[in-house]
Amino acid sequence: MTPLMRREEIAVGLRTVRGQIELAASHAGRDPAEVTLVVVTKTFPASDIRLLVELGVRDIAENRHPEAVAKAAELTGLDVSWHFVGQVQSNKAGRIAAYADVVHSADSSRVVHRLGAGAVQHDRTITCLVQVSLDLAAETMGRGGAAPDTVSGLAQVVAATEGLRFGGVMAVAPRGGDASRAFRRLARIAADLRHEHPAATMISAGMSGDFADAVRAGATHVRVGSAVLGRRAALR
Ligand SMILES: *Cc1c(COP(=O)(O)O)cnc(C)c1O
């Protein structure tokens, strides 16, 4: 495929997803401008990220440190916010802090402390979300996330950690479960947290299969990969 064809393919994907976000927002009586499209570029080349930027995308997400750090290095100077949305291994947290602007997936105080230490070391401030596990199966299957009854405590830890700004919450819908119900629950957890942390307005929810549900439930950030970029060569 020529670069021009790829650009057109991505432009069509973006138009479609943006249109669906607008529709879902208007159905929910929300301003579509409240919803940020974060494009998940895992497994896709850095050249696709350049095309996304040309097409107006400013928020790029990766889910694995080695791939993320390589692309961030290749694209130094590009005007994007880098989001890290994968599980954070605590021994990698310090290195993730070197390039990530937003980490969606903090789920333990150990990870939070190491992200903060890395941010301070690199003289940066990172927006940190707490990933909430919305079903027991997700926790035990290692998909990450903190149990709902621990989220408020973890939010306190993030808010008190130098180098980090507590941004809000993130979740992945339970496999085979009711995504809308899960997203509404996440929105309630977020609303509760805002009593203590009024600036923590981010709700990161929704992927290619369920981002419209997430928007209707109040998501401020949707993380969409394949619906914009096409099928990934290999599942991770
Ligand atoms: C891959 C990934 C996404 C995007 O998935 P798609 O189904 O391709 O939209 C969103 N969130 C996380 C955490 C991911 O790892």
What value does the mean pLDDT of the chain take? 95
Return the SS3 of 223. strand
- Dist. CA 64 → ligand 1 center (Å): 12
Residue 138: per-residue pLDDT = 52
Whether residue 221 has its Cβ less than 6 Å from ligand 1:
no
∠ Cα 67 73 77 (to 5°): 135
Whether residue 40 has its Cβ less than 6 Å from ligand 1:
yes
pLDDT band at 68 (very low <50, low <70, confident <90, very high): very high
The residue whose CA is least distant from atom 11 of ligand 1 is 223
Return the SS3 of 212. helix
Whether residue 207 has its Cβ less than 6 Å from ligand 1:
yes
Residue 177: per-residue pLDDT = 85
Whether residue 97 has its Cβ less than 6 Å from ligand 1:
no
pLDDT band at 141 (very low <50, low <70, confident <90, very high): low
- Over the stretch 94-121, which tens digit does the pLDDT of each residue have? 999 999 999 999 999 999 999 999 999 9
- Dist. CA 42 → ligand 1 center (Å): 8
- Dist. CA 10 → ligand 1 center (Å): 17
Cα–Cα distance for residue pair 75/100, rounded to 1 Å: 13
pLDDT band at 193 (very low <50, low <70, confident <90, very high): very high
Rounded to an integer, the average pLDDT of 167-185 is 94
Whether residue 63 has its Cβ less than 6 Å from ligand 1:
yes
Q: For residue 8, which amino acid is it? A: E
Return the SS3 of 131. strand
Rounded to an integer, the average pLDDT of 68-97 is 96
Whether residue 208 has its Cβ less than 6 Å from ligand 1:
yes
- Kindly report the pTM of this predicted structure: 0.96
Strand-pair category, 102-106 with 126-131 = parallel
Q: Are 132 and 151 in contact (CB under 8 A)?
A: yes
Whether residue 85 has its Cβ less than 6 Å from ligand 1:
yes
Atom of ligand 1 nearest to the CA of 42: 1
If you write DSSP's letter for every residue of 145-211 in order, what string do you get?
-B-HHHHHHHHHHHHHSTTEEEEEEE--PPTTS-HHHHHHHHHHHHHHHHHH-TT--EEE---TTTH
223, 232, 235: which to mutate for ligand 1, most atoms within 8 A of CB?
223
Q: Are 128 and 167 in contact (CB under 8 A)?
A: yes
Atom of ligand 1 nearest to the CA of 229: 8
Other beta carbons within 10 Å of 201: 13
